[in-house]
Structure 1
């Protein structure tokens, strides 16, 4: 449910999506990398978590590979805008799910008043998300699309640098990754893409010297990654006996206006 989420976070998401709503053309290089990850996949159902304006997806192409496209995001207006751009055939394939994808949204005001213990926060977040997972079912492919950094920045700005932030952030990131895994059917795959390091660090120089993937690993080891986006952390959250070992599949630099970001793609396959 989104009604109980602090207005600050809802407005932040709407403002972010509104600022990029007309940016489909500018997203082309980033979109090509994301679509390459999905090439050759197909089946009945695809879930995209953090779909937003869908600037980083070619829904018409995906509708040729999947019978159903399920688009999840906190911002209902962004989902509606993306849906309205599509052909009638693609519209029929799409289902829109405006919802919290972290499990913490309705808990934040209480946590701000009384900081939770880390384990209690994680359990509370998953209690919220488990109902969503049961409602929407399982998917052949699940893509979490560059959502983790937004979660980290929004929670930092909501709480400030106080102890409650750490508990809330770990619960949100952990809850989201657990949700992505829970939505993946046996024999399916979960993909997590995340921008993680900004051009305030020497990302181009490091990528040129080491390659983008090794640049991420090197800079992340020095603490440059957004909190909650370190690929090692996300891989550890995905690690499960039900899944193959999480594998880094690709990395690239994403140019967004004056800023640039290092992005990685992590994949784990659920055992049949």
Structure 2
């Protein structure tokens, strides 16, 4: 029996599979940000959560920048189709992890993933929140979904690895001025929609940064937020934010304990 999460994700993936061109600017921005956070380790590994169709990832560039790339998604067919569409050569250092439900990732499936030097969630947070909302989740329950996803990212990080959360914050459905706002005005617009409460529940990047920075058990430091950008898809636009954070080295934990 197909789960509600898989059904929802397949519908989204099927709807966007042929929209490669609509993702061009967004794809370039996401890929550049990921590559900008490489740690420089010879055996560096990238883990992408919610990879789906990979329309927002330039896989060839990522494979040139990392020793290994792991793509994780609930939709196995979407991952396989993504590799075919981007025409990667045989033997590419790419591992596909399909069937992983990020709303409730099974420990045995997560154990197949090596720790990543960079672990990124690519606009999947609001999809997870939407699934929970359709199941009747309330505001506090939605924040629990968000926090669990953030813990998943940090839990997959190697010491001194960098986590990234890329998420859409609001759409032009409720913020029509987004369609005509220039690049320089997107930062003030992000502050305006957040202050006005006009954003997807759980996707406030400032609240996410506060939660991450005040959760001592996560042991994170060096937070940074990229300038927001607009992602145009047909007659709808999304305001996108990207937050990066680094996991502390394990020796700090040892010294603190001893």
Q: CA deviation at 1:209?
A: 9.3
Distance (Å, rounded) in 2 between the aligned partners of 1:179 and 1:149: 15
Retained in 2: the 8 A contact 1:181–1:238?
Answer: no
Question: How do 1:122-141 and structure 2 match up within 5 A?
Answer: 132-141=109-118
Aligned residues: CA RMSD: 2.4
Q: CA deviation at 1:221?
A: 1.5
Retained in 1: the 8 A contact 2:230–2:237?
Answer: yes
Retained in 1: the 8 A contact 2:139–2:201?
Answer: no
> What residue is the counterpart of 1:174 in the other structure?
147
**Which residue, 165, 171, 177 being the options, matches 1:198?**
171
Give the secondary-structure state (helix, strand or coil) at the position aligned to 1:211: helix
Distance (Å, rounded) in 2 between the aligned partners of 1:130 and 1:8: 20
TM-score between the two structures when normalised by the length of structure 1: 0.80
Q: CA deviation at 1:95?
A: 1.0
TM-score between the two structures when normalised by the length of structure 2: 0.84
**Which residue, 5, 9, 16 being the options, matches 2:12?**
16
| 5+ long unaligned stretches in structure 2 | 250-258
Q: Deviations over 1:108-144 (max 9, x none)?
A: xxxxxxxxxxxxxxxxxxxx56665544231110111
Question: How do 1:210-225 and structure 2 match up within 5 A?
Answer: 211-225=185-199
CA separation of 1:203 and 1:138: change in aligned 2, threshold 3 A:
farther
Aligned residues: 240
Distance (Å, rounded) in 2 between the aligned partners of 1:91 and 1:29: 28
| 5+ long unaligned stretches in structure 1 | 104-127
> What residue is the counterpart of 2:160 in the other structure?
187
Retained in 2: the 8 A contact 1:143–1:191?
Answer: yes
Q: Deviations over 1:89-120 (max 9, x none)?
A: 475311111211132xxxxxxxxxxxxxxxxx
- Tell me which moved more, 60-69 or 31-40: 31-40
Distance (Å, rounded) in 1 between the aligned partners of 2:233 and 2:223: 27
Give the secondary-structure state (helix, strand or coil) at the position aligned to 1:33: helix
